[in-house]
Structure formats: C-alpha cells, structure tokens
C-alpha cells in the first residue's frame, strides 16, 4: 500500500529541523548500506552515532505518535530509529530493495515491512530527487511538501532520482508491523477508514459495532505479537 500522510510535522517543526541540520556534520551514505546498495547509493547521511540524529529522530517518532493515520496504516510493532539523508550536486540512489532484517540492538532485530520517507524539503527547492516506487502497476513518482510522509512496502523496488539543483533533505525509517502481509494491512486500513466515516455520518450504531467487531477479529487473526 502506497499512502501519503500529510502534515506529520508543522511548518515550524520543519523550519527548526532545517536550522539544526544546516550545521550538521554529514557523512557518506555508504556507512549504512550493504554490498548491493553500495553500487548505486550516492548521498549523505547523519552518522548513526550522531547525537543530532538521535535527538531529531525522537522528535520524528513523537510526531508520528500524534498522527492517527500513520498508526491506522502501519499498525507498528517496532520502528527503527529514524535516519536523515541529503541529496545535492547530482547525488542519487539507484533502484534497490531495502534489507529484510535490520538490527535494533545487539539483541533485537526488526523485519522491514514498511518503509517511510518524511520530506523536509519542498519540491520547489530542488530539481530531480523524486522518489520512484515500482510495483505491478508501474512506477510512481513521489515528491511531497515538507512535513509530509509517504509509506510504502519495503519489498518494493525504489530509487531516488539525481538532484541537479538545490538539495533534498528527508528523514527515513522502517516499521515492523503487527500485520506482516501488505494485503491484510490494506484491508484492515480500508475497514478502519470506513468505520470512522460511518461513525462520523452517524450510521446505524449496531452496524458500526458489527464492523468494528469484524475489524478486531481480523486483526486478532492476522497480527503477530
């Protein structure tokens, strides 16, 4: 499921993030990539050990916790601490698939079900830099306003086009969902969205209750705890 989540960060939040990141010590993005990705990855990232990365990452997680749409769609069980990247001067990231298993710590791992990119630059600030996500319906170009995020399956082939003017700054993270199968997550999300709309429209309470029961029983059937 490809989903646009608007206004995860406010304009004030984005401005503060950008102010802090302007003075950051960026490093090669090759620090956090395997052999396959190293052949096609040309960007910069905040180092994993950077205190700024940890501080801003916590702010991103707090913002996502305040975003019901994110939780309804992702049903998160674990979230890898957010990272931050920068593309400029022709840098790009060619087609790749995200690693299936990532380390949260020496003792704990995360299965990457969902990838998330949170944009910190507006599309007008740079040329190129579109996130291209490829699936059975073709290639989808994504360039969202600063503060907005996109969710997509980590199993998707995707790339970032070369940035030929300006710079593209973003945060990115991975989610292990309570529901492994993307088709099941989509059905649960659509059912949840319908229940909320019917509730707002003051539909028959008994019918809403019945649908809510179906939602939770499907979640009970498909979830991994």
Average pLDDT, the chain: 96
Nearest Cα to Cα of residue 121 among 109, 107, 131: 131
Q: Are residues 128 and 38 in the same domain?
A: yes
Q: How many domains does the chain have?
A: 2
Structure tokens at 58: 């916590």
- Provide the pLDDT confidence category of residue 31 given band limits of 50, 70 and 90: confident
Residues 194 and 171 occupy one common structural domain: no
Residues 126, 210 share a domain: no
Q: What is the CATH number of the domain that holds 203?
A: 4.10.860.20
Whether 206 and 119 map to the same domain: the answer is no
| CATH value at residue 59 | 2.60.120.620
Instruction: Say if residue 106 is in the same domain as residue 145.
Output: yes
d(CA 166, CA 225): 44
Backbone angles phi, psi at 100, to 5 degrees: -75, -35
Q: Looking at the predicted structure, is the pLDDT value of residue 168 above 80?
A: yes
What is the pTM assigned to this prediction?
A: 0.95
pLDDT tens-place string over residues 43-95:
999 999 999 999 999 999 999 999 999 999 999 999 999 999 999 999 999 99
Token readout for 87 is 């593309």
For residues 103 and 188, state if they share a domain: no
DSSP states of 18-87 = HHHHHT---EEGGGG--HHHHTTEE-EE--TT-HHHHHHHHHHHHHHHT-HHHHHHH-EEEEPPPEEEEE
160 and 111 in a single domain? The answer is yes
> Tell me, what's the pLDDT at 77?
98
**11 and 101 share a domain?**
yes
30 with 108, same domain: the answer is: yes
Is the same domain home to 97 and 206? no
Q: Are residues 88 and 197 part of one domain?
A: no
124 and 159 part of one domain? yes
Q: Which domain holds residue 192?
A: 182-222
pLDDT tens, 98-121?
A: 999 999 988 999 999 999 999 999
């Amino acid at each position: 499921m490809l989903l646009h989540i608007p206004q995860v960060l406010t304009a004030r939040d984005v401005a503060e993030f950008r102010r802090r990141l302007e003075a950051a010590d960026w490093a090669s993005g090759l620090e956090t990539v395997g052999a396959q990705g190293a052949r096609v990855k040309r960007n910069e990232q905040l180092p994993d050990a950077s205190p700024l990365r940890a501080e801003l990452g916590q702010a991103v997680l707090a913002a996502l916790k305040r975003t019901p749409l994110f939780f309804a769609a992702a049903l998160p069980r674990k979230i890898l601490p957010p990272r931050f990247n920068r593309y400029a001067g022709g840098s790009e990231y060619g087609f790749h698939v995200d690693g299936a298993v990532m380390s949260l710590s020496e003792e704990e791992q995360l299965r990457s079900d969902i990838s998330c990119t949170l944009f910190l630059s507006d599309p007008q600030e740079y040329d190129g830099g579109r996130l291209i996500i490829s699936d059975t319906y073709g290639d989808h170009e994504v360039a969202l306003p600063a503060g907005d995020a996109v969710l997509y399956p980590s199993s998707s082939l995707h790339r970032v086009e070369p940035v030929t003017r300006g710079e593209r700054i973003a945060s990115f993270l991975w989610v292990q969902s309570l529901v492994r199968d993307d088709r099941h997550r989509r059905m649960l999300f659509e059912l949840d969205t319908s229940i909320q709309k019917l509730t707002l429209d003051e539909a028959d309470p008994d019918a809403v209750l019945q649908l809510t029961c179906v939602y939770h029983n499907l979640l009970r059937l498909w979830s991994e705890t």
